[in-house]
């Protein structure tokens, strides 16, 4: 196994806290939309934690699986898989029951020009899934894009701040939350709405995008000059552990790291490590899309992987020729068009 593969494996191991929480999460876990950026590693850490806990619990992954290799790798790791189009009623009905649903399905990139599909995925489908799994508990992924931009000095917006999404993607995600909340109340489904902003990994994310721009001597847009990030492994664990905190009415939880991070500072740090001078364009605006995740930190502790570690990991991965998903976050976008 290569050094990069060992590094990835080490940083995606389950924590003791996750293993302990799984004793209190009764029933099987199904991940709907497991084929996306976070789903495969989330399923794997859940399976590893179950095995290390020595308990019987099925980990089930559902996706269209347009990439057959992803499905094969998940099955090799002991995860049950089902190929299904969740918008197909027959497919949805045929899925196995599970006491715990991690809902990762949704559409973001390519929203512009495919608005109808985006609303179907992000707002219509949650109602169908909630009807299908009305006897389960849900952690339903949402996004910090439901918030308005806020002054960078604010410390980020907390869960009680009024929502005001910019653009159809953010609006459709707020629709997803509202639909899930309706069915939570109607059927007394314990739920948690998981507002993530932004997960990063070896293969994608804000840090990798900035590092690649520095390395390739491309100009970095400073319009959105501040961001929040969290290591994907930490975000995965919070999602699984959040099954213990579902409630009626649905609980809202911001998930991100503790820092408000300067994009310019990040680029300069990468410049020092890569031996290259960053190139910048545009001026830093006084507002950004920022979340306050202090409630998540109270419940689950601070993320295990620190910002400095993430920076070092990103450079190691980039210089080692590690693969990347080539799926930009568009964190610079200020008009809500993805």
In this prediction, residues 283-296 reach a mean pLDDT of 97
In this prediction, residues 162-166 reach a mean pLDDT of 96
pLDDT for residue 334: 76
Question: Given the DSSP bridges, would you call strands 191-196 and 137-143 parallel, antiparallel or unpaired?
Answer: parallel
Residue 93 C-beta-side C-alpha neighbours within 13 Å:
3
- pLDDT of residue 214 exceeding 70, the answer is yes
The count of other CB atoms within 10 Å of the CB of residue 44 is 22
pLDDT top residue among 245 and 324: 245
pLDDT for residue 110: 61
pLDDT for residue 314: 93
DSSP state of 54: T
In this prediction, residues 143-147 reach a mean pLDDT of 96
The count of other CB atoms within 10 Å of the CB of residue 193 is 26
Q: At what angle do helices 232-241 and 39-53 cross, to 10 degrees?
A: 60
Burial class from Cβ neighbours inside 10 Å (0-12, 13-18, 19+) for residue 82 reads middle
- pLDDT of residue 4 exceeding 90, the answer is no
Q: Given the structure tokens 């459709």, which residue do they identify?
A: 172
- Contact, 261 vs 227, CB < 8 A? yes
Q: What is the dihedral of CA 139, 145, 147, 153, to 10 degrees?
A: 110
pTM of model > 0.75:
yes
Cα Rg of the chain, angstroms: 19
Q: pLDDT exceeding 90 applies to what percent of the chain?
A: 84
Which tokens sit at 335? 């008009």
Q: Which domains does the chain have, with CATH numbers?
A: 3-199+231-258+289-304 (3.40.50.720)
What are the residue ranges of helices labelled H in the chain? 3-11, 16-22, 39-53, 68-76, 89-94, 115-119, 125-132, 167-187, 206-215, 232-241, 263-274, 294-300, 307-319
- pLDDT for 82-137, tens place per residue? 999 999 999 999 999 999 999 999 987 666 678 999 999 999 999 999 999 999 99
Provide DSSP, 241-262.
HGGGG-BSSPEEEEE--S--EE
pLDDT for residue 338: 62
Residues, the chain: 338
Encode 122-160: b = buried (16+ Cβ within 10 Å), e = exposed.
Answer: bbbbbbbbbebbeebbbbbbbbbbbbebbebeeebbebe
In angstroms, the CA 206 to CA 217 distance is: 16
Helix, coil or strand: residue 140: strand
In angstroms, the CA 53 to CA 141 distance is: 26
- pLDDT of residue 197 exceeding 60, the answer is yes
pLDDT for residue 1: 47
Q: Given the structure tokens 């847009």, which residue do they identify?
A: 221
- pLDDT of residue 270 exceeding 50, the answer is yes
In angstroms, the CA 173 to CA 150 distance is: 19
In angstroms, the CA 111 to CA 145 distance is: 14
- pLDDT for 39-56, tens place per residue? 999 999 999 999 999 999
- Contact, 289 vs 151, CB < 8 A? no
- Contact, 198 vs 205, CB < 8 A? yes
Positive or negative torsion for Cα 69, 73, 74, 76: positive
pLDDT for residue 202: 84
pLDDT for residue 111: 62
């Amino acid at each position: 196994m290569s050094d990069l593969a060992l590094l990835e494996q080490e940083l995606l191991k389950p924590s003791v806290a996750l293993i302990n929480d799984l004793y209190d999460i009764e029933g099987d876990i199904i991940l709907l939309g497991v084929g996306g950026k976070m789903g495969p590693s989330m399923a794997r850490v859940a399976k590893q934690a179950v095995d290390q806990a020595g308990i019987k619990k099925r980990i089930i992954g559902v996706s269209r699986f347009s990439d057959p290799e992803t499905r094969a790798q998940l099955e090799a790791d002991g995860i049950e898989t089902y190929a299904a189009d969740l918008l197909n009623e027959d497919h949805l009905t045929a899925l196995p029951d599970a006491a715990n649903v991690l809902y990762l399905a949704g559409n973001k990139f390519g929203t512009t020009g495919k608005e109808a599909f985006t609303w179907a995925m992000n707002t219509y489908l949650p109602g169908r899934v909630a009807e299908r799994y009305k006897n389960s508990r849900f952690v339903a992924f949402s996004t910090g894009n439901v918030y308005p931009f806020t002054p960078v000095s604010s410390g980020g917006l907390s869960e009680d701040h009024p929502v005001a999404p910019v653009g159809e993607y953010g609006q459709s995600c707020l629709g997803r939350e509202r639909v899930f909340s309706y069915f939570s109340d109607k059927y007394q489904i314990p739920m948690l709405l998981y507002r993530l902003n932004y997960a990063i990994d070896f293969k994608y994310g804000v840090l990798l995008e900035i590092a690649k721009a520095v390395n390739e001597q491309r100009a970095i847009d400073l319009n959105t000059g501040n961001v929040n990030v969290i290591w994907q492994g930490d975000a995965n664990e919070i999602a699984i552990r959040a099954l213990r905190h579902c409630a009626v009415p649905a609980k809202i939880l911001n998930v991100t790291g503790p820092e408000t991070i300067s994009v310019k500072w990040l680029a300069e740090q990468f410049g020092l490590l890569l031996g290259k001078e960053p190139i910048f364009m545009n001026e830093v605006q006084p507002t950004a899309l920022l979340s306050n995740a202090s409630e998540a930190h109270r419940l689950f502790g601070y993320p295990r992987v620190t910002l400095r570690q993430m920076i070092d990991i990103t450079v190691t991965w980039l210089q080692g020729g590690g693969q990347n998903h080539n799926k930009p976050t568009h964190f610079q976008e200020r008009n809500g068009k993805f």
